Structure 1
Amino acid sequence: MLLLLAITVSWVLNAAGMILPWLFGSMIATFLFIRFATKDFYYPKWLGNVGIFVIGFEIGSTFTVDALHEMAGEMANIIIITFLIIGLSLGLSTIFMKLTKCTPETALLSSVPGALSQMLILAEEDKKADLLLVTITQMSRIIMVVILVPLIASFFTADSGTAAVAEDQGPLLTEMLDPSLLLILAGAFVLMYLLKLIKFPVPFMLGPIIAMLIWNITTGHHFSLNIEFMNIAQVLFGIRIGIQISSLLYQLNSRMIVSMLIQNTLLIFGTLLIVGVYQMFTDHSFNNLFLSAAPGGIGQLIIVAVEMGADIAMISSYHIFRIFFIILFVTPVVSYYLKYRRRKHSET
């Protein structure tokens, strides 16, 4: 019933010309279902992961040899943008701490963008961190990104290079069905399992991305997914986000709501300002740069990029680099800093 309702609402929104109709439609349908039908239902986690898996293939299909050459030339921009956005996020943690009256540990862990699982692990380990507030703040940022970023991005159009990128993706999957394509699927499952085994974040997305990347480089026969696959992926993923939204609403109070709205709005519009200034020094369109810099989960932002006709390869490369940077550098530094604070507090 929920799936049928999600598809129906999404179809209506699509016919009405709404931004991201299949994602928003499934989120709205899920909220209405829980509110007016029943809370007593089970939505398997693997269904949401199937949506993420499909999105991973779409991202991977954009990583052609030409796109990788362009990305290598973008490395300086990727590093600078990553530092600026993470710096902005950590700077806003001071404002968040004053608004919520929370501990510095809570404010810090609530502010790092695009690192929900890592920050929750640190929050569980630190007794001075409020796990509930960290969880809700990180989740609310994802929700606000899903709502605000498409609205902002819709005011801008992608540059002429976007069309070239879209054309270079090759034929649709259904136009070149071949048994050899099963190698991509098998490779994606193996990589996903290995990444999950070492507890790497978003394995269900990175597995197919890497598998498609290897396929494109080794064969040169690249292709893109049919839009129907992406619509199904958005519905499956949107239902999961809708469930998360519904569960969070009952845990919020007015102070938390106002504080999170202020922090996340400042973060998004601070990103807007950074991109506006940075764009003057590059040849990229505002839309591509903004989606590349926007704080939030890679899955949500890639869906926005597909809908807006933006450069998926460029945008995903920025966010994948941010994921690696947060895991390999930011998370250890934050962990060390919190341990230092705990040790210093125990000594006093």
Structure 2
Amino acid sequence: MKYMNLVFLFIAAIVLSALLQWVGMVLPWLFGAMMATVLFYRLVTKAFHYPKWLGNVGLVIIGAEIGSAFTLQTLSDMADDYINIILISLFIIILSLILARFFMKMTGCTMETAVLSSIPGALSQMIVMAEEEKRADLLLVTMTQMSRIVLVVIFVPLIASLTKGQGTSELNETAAPLLSVVTWDMLWIIAAVPVIILILMKLKFPVPFMMGPMLAILGWNMATDYTFSVDTEFMYAAQLFFGIRIGVQLSALITQLNSRMIAAMFIQNVLVIAGTMGIVLMFLLVTDHNFTDLFLSAAPGGIGQIIIVAVEMGANTAMISSYHIFRIFFILLIIAPLINYLLRRNRRRRQHADDGA
């Protein structure tokens, strides 16, 4: 019966996600799956089992999409503006970590929760790390990261619209969907993904199921320059699989959310957006970029949502993509492993202290 309930849950998630997409909701298949799961769990039944491997399938697809965005053209765009890209990414990360201290005081949460809640533009990665870290509050991390996406979608277009029309309207060509260009040579990617995942798991690298396909496709793009994008249907499925997984975990925790936490999440995310605007105004004094392009390049949101806003604003999507892709890789390859190392070291230190006591 629990597997039949799981089928009903999938149907409910698909219907709600499609409805949210129809009304124009941001990330409808992710939010729809999460909302459907919470409602199903609280109002219908708790008697269903969601296999962890389904959530991992979602992570593999998301990782493939991130990897496919990293092309030789993107690398060239980064090389032309690498100093600004590196400095702005560093400043945004530093700003987030500073605000993590205030978030910790406002909510009384652990350092692990505050840090994972504060890192911008890395929703899936931070949620997965929160799952793995026992001292992290998964509910608070997830809700803070999710609410930031919503606030970015609301506030960033409003702020950017103040200078609408100053963008360069320099659009990248969209890569062809994978299923329309697939060749036998691409079997190398399929063979490489599980090998890289196993190596990353052995190295205890964070989010291996996302990093594996990302690195495999990145390598393919660099070696062949035969690029592609992940089909939209696959991305919907990824959001659905991952959204249900998070929804299951949130279902038992949602009642713990209180007004203090909600206020803290709102204040922290508004401060991140305001701080980002301050960083951009500072860089405008030393660069030739216009406000719209630079603000959208630095904005603390997911690359998908920001690029949609950039197109609507007539902004330079090539530049904005390169900034966000660099930040994604900077977070995944440097910040996430560093956070993971520091959290593990803290865990060992507490364990030694407990053993000594």
TM-score by length of 1: 0.76
Q: Which residue of 2 aligns with 1:128?
A: none
Q: Which residue of 1 aligns with 2:326?
A: 317
Indicate conservation of the 8 Å contact 1:150/1:304, yes or no.
yes
Name the SS for the 1:39 alignment partner.
Answer: coil
> Partners in 1 of 2:252 and 2:92 — Cα distance?
29
Name the SS for the 2:65 alignment partner.
Answer: helix
Report the Cα offset of residue 182 of structure 1.
Answer: 1.5
Deviations 1:296-347 (CA, angstroms, capped at 9, x unpaired): xxxxx2453575566545412212213333246566678889999999xxxx
Name the SS for the 1:149 alignment partner.
Answer: helix
Residue among 40, 55, 66 paired with 1:59: 66
Q: 1:58 to 1:288 in 2, by over 3 A?
A: farther
Deviations 1:142-198 (CA, angstroms, capped at 9, x unpaired): 2213332233345558955663x233x2x2222223222121111122112211221
Q: 1:136 to 1:333 in 2, by over 3 A?
A: same
What residue identity is the alignment partner of 2:41? Answer: I
Q: 1:306 to 1:245 in 2, by over 3 A?
A: farther
Report the Cα offset of residue 93 of structure 1.
Answer: 3.9
Q: Which residue of 1 aligns with 2:270?
A: 265
Alignment of 1:20-59 (within 5 A): 20-59=27-66
Indicate conservation of the 8 Å contact 1:92/1:111, yes or no.
no
Q: Which residue of 1 aligns with 2:15?
A: 8
Indicate conservation of the 8 Å contact 2:30/2:242, yes or no.
yes
Segment drifting more, 269-278 vs 240-249: 269-278
Segment drifting more, 175-184 vs 106-115: 106-115
Indicate conservation of the 8 Å contact 1:153/1:287, yes or no.
no
> Partners in 2 of 1:202 and 1:144 — Cα distance?
22
Would you say 1:283 and 2:289 are equivalent positions?
yes
Residue among 189, 192, 200 paired with 2:194: 189
Indicate conservation of the 8 Å contact 2:58/2:242, yes or no.
yes
Q: Which residue of 2 aligns with 1:83?
A: 90
Report the Cα offset of residue 102 of structure 1.
Answer: 6.4
Report the Cα offset of residue 203 of structure 1.
Answer: 1.6
Indicate conservation of the 8 Å contact 2:277/2:295, yes or no.
no
> Partners in 2 of 1:31 and 1:107 — Cα distance?
22
Deviations 1:36-78 (CA, angstroms, capped at 9, x unpaired): 1122322222212212211222222222212112223343223
Q: Which residue of 1 aligns with 2:355?
A: none
> Partners in 1 of 2:131 and 2:65 — Cα distance?
28
Report the Cα offset of residue 4 of structure 1.
Answer: 1.0
Indicate conservation of the 8 Å contact 1:23/1:235, yes or no.
yes
Q: 1:150 to 1:40 in 2, by over 3 A?
A: farther
Report the Cα offset of residue 223 of structure 1.
Answer: 1.5
Indicate conservation of the 8 Å contact 2:85/2:323, yes or no.
no
Report the Cα offset of residue 232 of structure 1.
Answer: 1.5
TM-score by length of 2: 0.75
> Partners in 2 of 1:255 and 1:25 — Cα distance?
26
Q: 1:135 to 1:272 in 2, by over 3 A?
A: farther
Indicate conservation of the 8 Å contact 2:74/2:322, yes or no.
yes
Name the SS for the 1:166 alignment partner.
Answer: coil
Deviations 1:4-49 (CA, angstroms, capped at 9, x unpaired): 1111112122223333222222222222212211223222222122
> Partners in 2 of 1:282 and 1:195 — Cα distance?
40
Q: Which residue of 2 aligns with 1:304?
A: 305
Q: 1:37 to 1:191 in 2, by over 3 A?
A: same
In structure 1, runs of 5+ residues without a counterpart are 125-130, 296-300, 344-348
Indicate conservation of the 8 Å contact 1:53/1:208, yes or no.
yes
In structure 2, runs of 5+ residues without a counterpart are 1-7, 312-316, 353-357
Q: Which residue of 2 aligns with 1:73?
A: 80
Report the Cα offset of residue 263 of structure 1.
Answer: 2.6
Indicate conservation of the 8 Å contact 1:23/1:234, yes or no.
yes
Q: Which residue of 2 aligns with 1:346?
A: none
Q: Which residue of 2 aligns with 1:294?
A: 300
Name the SS for the 2:256 alignment partner.
Answer: coil
> Partners in 1 of 2:155 and 2:37 — Cα distance?
25
Residue among 322, 325, 335 paired with 1:326: 335
Q: 1:151 to 1:261 in 2, by over 3 A?
A: closer
What residue identity is the alignment partner of 1:64? Answer: T
Alignment of 1:218-237 (within 5 A): 218-237=223-242
Q: Which residue of 1 aligns with 2:203?
A: 198
> Partners in 1 of 2:27 and 2:114 — Cα distance?
31
> Partners in 2 of 1:140 and 1:149 — Cα distance?
14
Q: 1:312 to 1:219 in 2, by over 3 A?
A: same
> Partners in 2 of 1:184 and 1:228 — Cα distance?
20
What RMSD over aligned residues (CA atoms) do the two structures have, in Å? 3.7
State the aligned residue count.
Answer: 327
